[in-house]
Structure 1
């Protein structure tokens, strides 16, 4: 029986904790939290809570990190990987910010369940069947680049999410982060800064339009469709050889030349265990951000910012949002995953991409890791 520990006590972590406790193949060992243990009555199996990362490292065969905090995750994962313990993340924010720093330092993989991991799984299936993917798509139901606080408070309460998580879903930062990870992890490009985000209620029709764009560009792309009618899942649009057209037509895949493979659901923490099994069984990494990423999620000002203003947390804030963009086109940009406890140094106008000259960022291992990644990218 494998000994598994979890870092985090949010919605994803709590669901996984319950599943692990019921799983006959795994033993839930410890749950790491930064909060006061005696106050966490909301966490199942609270007797397993600890504030000691060393305790997890000492007792675990594998550790799952799902805090959504790139800065904290960077510190924790650095120590875990130095101890030679495999890591599964459901933390795309960590992956696109500093995951490339760790990609060649041990066994670390993003999990199935969130859209990037499910797209990686669908990619494996598509390739094994001989398809040649052109579009790796996310399905997003709603977008508002400038949501209001009162609206986010309402929906956060209704959905039992934090306000910042709800805001990052609404203003598109989350989907931009997810598709950045997909692009880097599967060696794709993007069609434009901020992605296309085509509004279409039909994955076949919208996917075909994105595939035509990919053909024009000459490379496969990471993007998304926007529709309140689509279920929250993923899709791949691909080509196949001409001699398979009849078979694909018989299986109701259409006349080609583009074929849509969709998975109209993703079950987040329910699917993490599949990636835990994958790593422990020696089947290799499902998805990471690659050692030489080409895409970053840059920080975009939602409004004019004045010197002296502070931003406690960029992801899910009302000051900034994230957009996927090519790293080499934006030297010196600040990835939104580094926007924690930041002070504005220079006037910034709405819509501007923030650079390290514009803000003062506290020293951290994550900041050092990003600088290493950026240098690696520009030096090739």
Structure 2
């Protein structure tokens, strides 16, 4: 859905950009409804050789990591619509080349709202997400029904419903914008009034002495957007109250929509014009997303999926408190070595894992995070010409 939408957008509304190639792992002839069928390719070399900037929107941690590394070897900048990749291998990749998450999904929308808030003199305390519905352990039957009704895959529907996606989204925001969490799994306040809930979260952040990321589950007002809870200068309070944001001291700024593929072009233009990163997982993350067992499982059980599966869900956690946890983005294709109980956080000792570049990166990153002095940040500043390619 994302790739289709981006291609249509750029074809019809961006005269200065051209879709050169679209990488797919399916036979190109098997996608008859794709807007530009002649650009479909199975060749990563062909994608890279014909691109000046790459949009990675596969939603696949393993495949996406390999594609981005190849793009960096060729000196290409990368725009991602892949928060799952960002929180798994993104911190390593951010040190190897230019990579930014796109505006449109909640993390990019929060980063854009953050920039607006700073330009107006606000000091963000809370980076918030609005979650329309939450069920930590949905049934396959329910997810199949809603996936068909919404026109998206079952695994996407499941990751949205069980809370994994919102945990991933908030972790990349926390790492990228220097915020933390109040507890594992976030607060996730039930909310009938966003201003009241925002004040509660703002007070938590101030007691903690650091901005936080979190989410609310609205009841009685529309969900689906993002929000900030901020402070401002005391002498501006009368003007801000006149501007209808209330008496303070906490002010809630909202962006009531995120339009996914329709907004990605803004970030492409940002990179081409100013070479500025909107958001990534940072080269020195403090937060991760661990895997929590949804039910009891036996040794030898195969794990087909981590994100979007019916065996595990993701929870935000502090890396310093959980050095042995397995990122939920790495669980696909693994096998349990020992029994696990409902609610258990999965560690590397619990799993047999197949070799992969993503696994190598995560293990190497763990070693680096244990030795902060060894971290380094690379810089990148090429000239760009303005052709777009997609990795999917």
Determine the structure 1 residue equivalent to 2:8. Answer: 18
Equivalent-residue separation in structure 2 for 1:118 and 1:157 (angstroms): 27
How far does residue 202 in structure 1 lie from its aligned partner after superposition? 2.3
Determine the structure 2 residue equivalent to 1:27. Answer: 18
- SS of 1:340's equivalent in the other structure is coil
Equivalent-residue separation in structure 1 for 2:145 and 2:299 (angstroms): 31
How far does residue 287 in structure 1 lie from its aligned partner after superposition? 0.3
Determine the structure 1 residue equivalent to 2:273. Answer: 281
Unpaired runs of at least 5, structure 2: 373-392
Q: Deviations over 1:279-338 (max 9, x none)?
A: 111241000000010000001000111111101111010100100000111111100001
1:269 corresponds to 2:273: no
Match of 1:379 among 371, 374, 378: 371
Equivalent-residue separation in structure 1 for 2:278 and 2:78 (angstroms): 12
Determine the structure 2 residue equivalent to 1:297. Answer: 289
Equivalent-residue separation in structure 1 for 2:196 and 2:17 (angstroms): 43
Determine the structure 2 residue equivalent to 1:243. Answer: 235
Match of 2:66 among 59, 69, 75: 75
Equivalent-residue separation in structure 1 for 2:222 and 2:208 (angstroms): 26
How far does residue 115 in structure 1 lie from its aligned partner after superposition? 0.3
Match of 1:49 among 40, 48, 71: 40
* Contact map agreement 1:65 1:87 (CA 8 A) in 2: yes
* 1:159-170 alignment runs, 5 A limit: 159-170=150-161
* Contact map agreement 1:292 1:376 (CA 8 A) in 2: no
1:104 corresponds to 2:99: no
Q: Deviations over 1:174-229 (max 9, x none)?
A: 00000010000101000110000001032211111111111111111000011253
Determine the structure 1 residue equivalent to 2:344. Answer: 352
* Contact map agreement 1:201 1:230 (CA 8 A) in 2: no
* Contact map agreement 1:90 1:114 (CA 8 A) in 2: yes
Taking structure 2 as the reference length, what is the TM-score of the superposition?
A: 0.93
Determine the structure 1 residue equivalent to 2:172. Answer: 181
Determine the structure 1 residue equivalent to 2:108. Answer: 117
Equivalent-residue separation in structure 1 for 2:255 and 2:7 (angstroms): 25
Determine the structure 1 residue equivalent to 2:311. Answer: 319
Equivalent-residue separation in structure 2 for 1:363 and 1:260 (angstroms): 46
Determine the structure 2 residue equivalent to 1:6. Answer: none
How far does residue 50 in structure 1 lie from its aligned partner after superposition? 0.2
Unpaired runs of at least 5, structure 1: 1-10
1:88 corresponds to 2:71: no
Taking structure 1 as the reference length, what is the TM-score of the superposition?
A: 0.96
- SS of 2:274's equivalent in the other structure is coil
Determine the structure 2 residue equivalent to 1:230. Answer: 222
- SS of 2:370's equivalent in the other structure is helix
Determine the structure 2 residue equivalent to 1:370. Answer: 362
1:215 corresponds to 2:229: no
How far does residue 19 in structure 1 lie from its aligned partner after superposition? 0.8
Equivalent-residue separation in structure 1 for 2:339 and 2:223 (angstroms): 41
Determine the structure 1 residue equivalent to 2:389. Answer: none
Q: Deviations over 1:227-277 (max 9, x none)?
A: 253231100000011111111111111101000110010000000000000
Equivalent-residue separation in structure 2 for 1:46 and 1:201 (angstroms): 47
* Contact map agreement 1:202 1:230 (CA 8 A) in 2: no
* Contact map agreement 1:113 1:271 (CA 8 A) in 2: yes
Give the RMSD, CA atoms, in angstroms: 0.9
Equivalent-residue separation in structure 1 for 2:302 and 2:141 (angstroms): 21
How far does residue 374 in structure 1 lie from its aligned partner after superposition? 1.4
